[in-house]
Chain A
Amino acid sequence: MTAEKSTDNLPRILVVDDELAIRRFLHTVLSSGEFILHEADNGHAGLASATAFRPDVILLDLGLPDLDGIEVIKRIREWSPVPIIVLSVREHENDKVSALDAGADDYLTKPFGVGELLARIRAALRRSLLEISEPVFISNDLQVDLGSRRVTVNGFDISLTPTEYDILRFLVIHAGKVLTHGQILKQVWGMTNLEQPHVLRVNISNLRRKIEVDPSRPRHIITEPGVGYRLKT
């Protein structure tokens, strides 16, 4: 009875992957009693499970035999904001960007470690549970107060240009999540400046100079090469 009750409250994870070996590995890693696991071995089965099983997080492989992974993301996003973590191979950076732009929340490059996987899952769960994030973001020496528009490093006030602040604010709202160049550009500059990603780079570079101790080894704003940026939580 108690066991039943406790399982009800456990986060539900849907794994969509056609590789039996990967599913078996994920099953081993994730069935330790912390999560409830459901598996689907193709895109259509995955979509069906997403409605029937109502998962809290979806782990989605992009290379499915029947449906394109991006297509799966788009269809899910039509009706659900459930966090989707994409599992992809290293060769296809562009796929990651497409997946993120289509609405995926995060990605993991195969092969990945268990620790990293669990961390990503937990971060995604946390974000979905606290949809309205705290007005104050704190990570090590960096503190951003969205309510009063105040940014401090080690307690010292930092003055940012309006654009820099907009970028930082967007990163803070989605802290821990990878934001693609396109997503940031669209959010901060609107549709018009999508063609000029270098403007974003210059601003990120300036932002780092102001909030990072050593801009050559950033601790807060992490570049995901070829994909975008992530604010470390």
Chain B
Amino acid sequence: MTNSDDIRPTPEAMLKLAQAEEVTAELGKLKIFLGYAAGVGKTYAMLEAARQRKKDGRDVVVGYVESHGRSETDALLDGMETLQRKEVLYLGVALPEMDLDAILNRKPQIVLVDELAHSNAPGSRHEKRWQDVEEILETGIDVYTTVNIQHFESLNDVVAQITGIIVRETVPDRLLDLAFEIKLIDISPEDLIQRLNEGKIYIPDQAAKAIEKFFRPGNLMALRELSLRRTAARVDDQMRAYMETQSIAGPWPTAERLLVCVSGSPYSEKLIRATFRLAEELKAQWFTVYIETPAGGRHVQENRERVWQNLRLAEGLGAQVGTITATDVTDAVLEYAGRHNITKIVMGKPNKPRWREVLSPPVVDRIIRRSGAVDVVIVSFEQDTSAEAHPSPKRRRPFELRGYAASLALIAAATVLCELLRPFLAPTNMVMFYLLAVVIASVRLGRKPAIASAFLGVLAFDFFFVPPRMTFVVADTQYLLTFLGLFVVGVVISTLVARARERAEVMRAREVQTASLYYLSRDLAASANSDAVLKAVLRNVEEALNAQVVIMLPEGERLDIMATSDGLILDIKEQAVADWAFRNSHPAGRATDTLVSADLIYLPLQTPASVLGVMGVKLASQHDYHSQETRRLLDAFATQAAMAMERIRFSHQAEQAQILQARENLERALLNSISHDLRTPLVSVTGVLYSLKEEEAHLSAQARRDLLDSACSEAERLNRFVGNLLDMTRIEAGAIRLNAELCDVQDLLGCAMAATEQRIGNRSVEIKLSGDLPLVSMDLVLMTQVLVNLLDNAHKYAPVESTIEVSATLDNSTLSLEVSDRGPGVPEHDLKRVFDKFYRIPIPEGTGGTGLGLSICKGIVEAHGGTISAENRSGGGLKIVILLPVVKTRELGYDG
């Protein structure tokens, strides 16, 4: 297997190392004080080290240390800052637990956490203390902790074999790898036993017996060896890593890749642990795969849950995990192996009875036969140890009993029918009725009842119809062939039908999932804003899983509920779980490994770049939480939702950028306009003033008057422009406040005419008013200004001799005001743009508009709930139409 050429570190290996270094730079450092049994002095050693650190000036805090009343330990604790424990109420008993939040808030440099393998009281944030430690490390705090060797997951069953005690509190091996430093606390077994006899080791009363059994020299020696070997292996690892980084040539392991297949079988767990140890030894990457067959789809729930647990275990031990749906296990395994460049497939030794192997050769045999270059490693188990730990999941369901009863009834019916037709039929043809019964049984009742009915059919046929009748004796041996034919056909048909039906069932389940994902992605694609996305996710998850859903998004510092199913209410505790899931971008809540006491499961809505929020789901039944399909579907939903939300966010950002761009353009236009329109009048005014001041004597009276006239009109223009700018600013800032009163439209026109009188002079303005105009609610000052602006424009652009027409008419409940001129009009494509700020039609020089008049009109009219539009008149000229809503008021008495 070893490839002697492969002696240089691969780029992948270098990258992995670089990443590991990067990660450890951010994470806190973990120091493990490893012992092989209680009483070796782990806690003592840890405290001594901590005191030393403290003396060195580091900020050391005791997070949780149990002294068990030992004076030596207490003495070491003296003078150390110890954080208060948290009381967790469970079943009416207050259990003291480490206060994780207190540690995170206190933020020391080093925190001491005793007993890494401890299981937290139910209701704590994490099930296990090692999870607490991981969270602490993530915040960059160093952790000193203690643990015994038998708590490590991969050694769990080995220890059980040695000592006969199954340790329930386990720690994943990766913590050992994660540790920056491992300190092995080693004393000889003899000393340890002596310490035990001297009463120096704390043992809880109820465990005294078990412990006594445990502290036998044989056990202790074996455990000690285990811990020494594990530590040595770790040193070996570090050495190897060092050699890799320094590019020192050495005996490099080949890139082995292991594959282990698991099922719900009780042996799978052992298989996984065995593979893990093998992978560790070989420094190999390893894969765990579950092949879901149509028959597997029928597995009882308990079994399915165990598959799920097994996959989780493998994942925890560092395997890459996958699930494949296939009809043929052998094909699927080999295909997977080929795809992932697997070099070794690990399998369990078959333990089926011999006779079954005759019927169908075990998968192991088939794989070995077809595995080609891939090695197959067979692992054996001691059968008795764990068989009882996991009682067989097979239990006869009432449904099956009913199935057998029904098949019995079918055969009975066939027998009765044959009896009735006996005078007309030869016995061999009666077989057809039995076959029919078998077919019905396989379609309706499933495989086993169908086989049973085939068997019963053979018996009934023999007993009732094969001469001599009413005995099982067969006179004519030819009938044996008929029996065989009937039985074989029955089995084959029932198997085929059953398989087809199961496959169809699996396909249907998949189909449902695919369809629900399709519907979601279709709805998401159609969603244009984040509100629609939330609604689509909510509705689709609700429908696909018959679940209640809540979606929370960050709002400043906290998570806010943005969408929720009817009747779903989250209490503070649930929200805290959601918050944890969000902050740690890791699933939390029910059926996860964090904060499992929650009611819902919370999945982070995660994109490669960031976590956008959290989706909480309350499923219809308990078993859904452990169903792999449901979890997979939920993950898919969460991913899709996150992606859709990110898409919305990006498009929103793009939109914002566009708006910003538009605003910048506008600001540039504003600056240009201001610099031009403010300065021009100022230039002429100051010019006139200076010339009057300096050259008064030389100017004729006429010239002086002309100069003054032009200065006056320029000053007025400047005043108008400043007024417009102020108005525009107020409209834009939304500061425009309508002082609406019921006004006479005629009065409005009169005011506008009066205000423009001076500028327009005696130019002809034709006013048409329909007689039935009611009082209209408006701000007279602002609407007067609108008309003034329109009249000014008309006057400015239209030839002097042409007439300006103003009209007011009522159409239903809309007042229509029109101002028309005979000027040049506006290019058709610019008719909408005339109301934009700083739009000026590109004609007569010196008309000197500010480009603000019409946009001010638009702002004012729209503040009144009306519309303003421009159209070119037939025969030339522009018509501005204002439509204002008229609120009907009661008839008004003339005399009040």
List residues of chain A with CB under 8 Å of any chain B CB.
90-91, 93-94, 111, 161-163, 189, 193, 196-199, 201-206, 208, 215-218, 222-223, 225-226
Interface contact B781-A205, CB-CB below 8 Å:
no
CB neighbors of A among B828-881 (8 A): none
Rounded to whole Å, the gap between the CB of B422 and the closest CB of chain A is 108
Q: Across the interface, which residues of B come within 8 angstroms of A202, CB to CB?
A: 744, 775, 892, 894
14 other contacts beyond A161-B895, A198-B892, with CB at 8 A cut-off? A91-B726, A198-B741, A198-B742, A199-B896, A203-B894, A203-B895, A203-B896, A205-B746, A205-B747, A216-B746, A217-B754, A218-B754, A223-B750, A223-B751
**Most chain B CB neighbours (cut-off 10 Å) among A203, A215, A218, A223:** A223
Q: Does B485 contact A (CB under 8 A)?
A: no
What are 29 A-B contacts defined by CB distance under 8 Å? A91-B726, A93-B781, A94-B739, A111-B715, A111-B719, A161-B894, A162-B895, A163-B896, A193-B896, A198-B741, A198-B742, A199-B893, A199-B896, A201-B744, A202-B744, A202-B892, A202-B894, A203-B895, A204-B747, A205-B744, A206-B894, A208-B746, A223-B750, A223-B754, A223-B780, A225-B781, A226-B779, A226-B780, A226-B781
Which 5 residue pairs across A and B have the least CB separation, nearest first?
A: A198-B742, A199-B896, A226-B781, A225-B781, A205-B744
Rounded to whole Å, the gap between the CB of A227 and the closest CB of chain B is 9
Nearest residue in B to A163 (C-beta to C-beta)? Answer: B895
Measured in the bound complex, the distance between the Cα atoms of B723 and A101 in whole Å is 26
Interface contact A197-B895, CB-CB below 8 Å:
no
Q: A111-B719, A203-B894 are in contact. Are A222 and B754 (CB under 8 A)?
A: yes
Q: Does B282 contact A (CB under 8 A)?
A: no
Partner pick for B769 among A94, A111, A216, CB 8 A cutoff: A216
Q: Across the interface, which residues of A come within 8 angstroms of B723, CB to CB?
A: 90
List residues of chain B with CB under 8 Å of any chain A CB.
715, 719, 723, 726, 739, 741-744, 746-747, 749-751, 753-754, 767, 769, 775, 779-781, 784, 889, 892-896
Q: Across the interface, which residues of A come within 8 angstroms of B775, CB to CB?
A: 198, 201-202
Q: Across the interface, which residues of A come within 8 angstroms of B743, CB to CB?
A: 201
The A/B interface has a contact count, at CB < 8 Å, of 74
Nearest residue in A to B767 (C-beta to C-beta)? Answer: A216
Measured in the bound complex, the distance between the Cα atoms of B744 and A197 in whole Å is 11
Measured in the bound complex, the distance between the Cα atoms of B775 and A199 in whole Å is 10
Rounded to whole Å, the gap between the CB of B824 and the closest CB of chain A is 27
Q: A197-B741, A204-B747 are in contact. Are A225 and B784 (CB under 8 A)?
A: yes
Q: Across the interface, which residues of A come within 8 angstroms of B893, CB to CB?
A: 199
Q: A91-B726, A206-B894, A223-B747 are in contact. Are A216 and B781 (CB under 8 A)?
A: no
Measured in the bound complex, the distance between the Cα atoms of B740 and A198 in whole Å is 11
Q: A91-B726, A93-B739, A226-B780 are in contact. Are A199 and B751 (CB under 8 A)?
A: no
Measured in the bound complex, the distance between the Cα atoms of B893 and A16 in whole Å is 45
Partner pick for A217 among B726, B739, B753, B895, CB 8 A cutoff: B753
Nearest residue in B to A227 (C-beta to C-beta)? Answer: B781
Interface contact A199-B892, CB-CB below 8 Å:
yes
Rounded to whole Å, the gap between the CB of B455 and the closest CB of chain A is 100
Nearest residue in B to A226 (C-beta to C-beta)? Answer: B781
Q: Across the interface, which residues of B come within 8 angstroms of A93, CB to CB?
A: 739, 781
Q: Across the interface, which residues of B come within 8 angstroms of A94, CB to CB?
A: 739
Q: Across the interface, which residues of B come within 8 angstroms of A198, CB to CB?
A: 741-742, 775, 889, 892
Q: Across the interface, which residues of B come within 8 angstroms of A217, CB to CB?
A: 750, 753-754, 767
Q: Across the interface, which residues of B come within 8 angstroms of A201, CB to CB?
A: 741-744, 747, 775
Interface contact A204-B744, CB-CB below 8 Å:
yes
Rounded to whole Å, the gap between the CB of A7 and the closest CB of chain B is 30
Nearest residue in A to B727 (C-beta to C-beta)? Answer: A91
**Most chain A CB neighbours (cut-off 10 Å) among B726, B750, B780:** B750
Interface contact B739-A226, CB-CB below 8 Å:
yes
Q: Across the interface, which residues of B come within 8 angstroms of A203, CB to CB?
A: 894-896
Nearest residue in B to A193 (C-beta to C-beta)? Answer: B896
Measured in the bound complex, the distance between the Cα atoms of B743 and A111 in whole Å is 27
Rounded to whole Å, the gap between the CB of A207 and the closest CB of chain B is 10
Rounded to whole Å, the gap between the CB of A63 and the closest CB of chain B is 15
Interface contact B896-A196, CB-CB below 8 Å:
yes
Q: Across the interface, which residues of B come within 8 angstroms of A218, CB to CB?
A: 750, 754
Rounded to whole Å, the gap between the CB of B420 and the closest CB of chain A is 102
Measured in the bound complex, the distance between the Cα atoms of B739 and A152 in whole Å is 36
Q: Across the interface, which residues of B come within 8 angstroms of A111, CB to CB?
A: 715, 719
Interface contact A197-B896, CB-CB below 8 Å:
no
Partner pick for B780 among A91, A193, A215, A225, CB 8 A cutoff: A225
Q: Across the interface, which residues of A come within 8 angstroms of B751, CB to CB?
A: 223, 225
Rounded to whole Å, the gap between the CB of B689 and the closest CB of chain A is 14
Q: Across the interface, which residues of A come within 8 angstroms of B750, CB to CB?
A: 215-218, 223
Rounded to whole Å, the gap between the CB of A233 and the closest CB of chain B is 16
Q: Across the interface, which residues of B come within 8 angstroms of A91, CB to CB?
A: 726
**Most chain B CB neighbours (cut-off 10 Å) among A93, A162, A201, A204:** A201
Measured in the bound complex, the distance between the Cα atoms of B746 and A161 in whole Å is 21
Q: Across the interface, which residues of B come within 8 angstroms of A205, CB to CB?
A: 744, 746-747
Nearest residue in A to B896 (C-beta to C-beta)? Answer: A199
Nearest residue in B to A217 (C-beta to C-beta)? Answer: B753
Q: Across the interface, which residues of B come within 8 angstroms of A222, CB to CB?
A: 754
Rounded to whole Å, the gap between the CB of B462 and the closest CB of chain A is 109
Rounded to whole Å, the gap between the CB of B506 and the closest CB of chain A is 77
Q: Across the interface, which residues of A come within 8 angstroms of B749, CB to CB?
A: 216
**Most chain A CB neighbours (cut-off 10 Å) among B741, B743, B751, B896:** B896
Interface contact B726-A197, CB-CB below 8 Å:
no
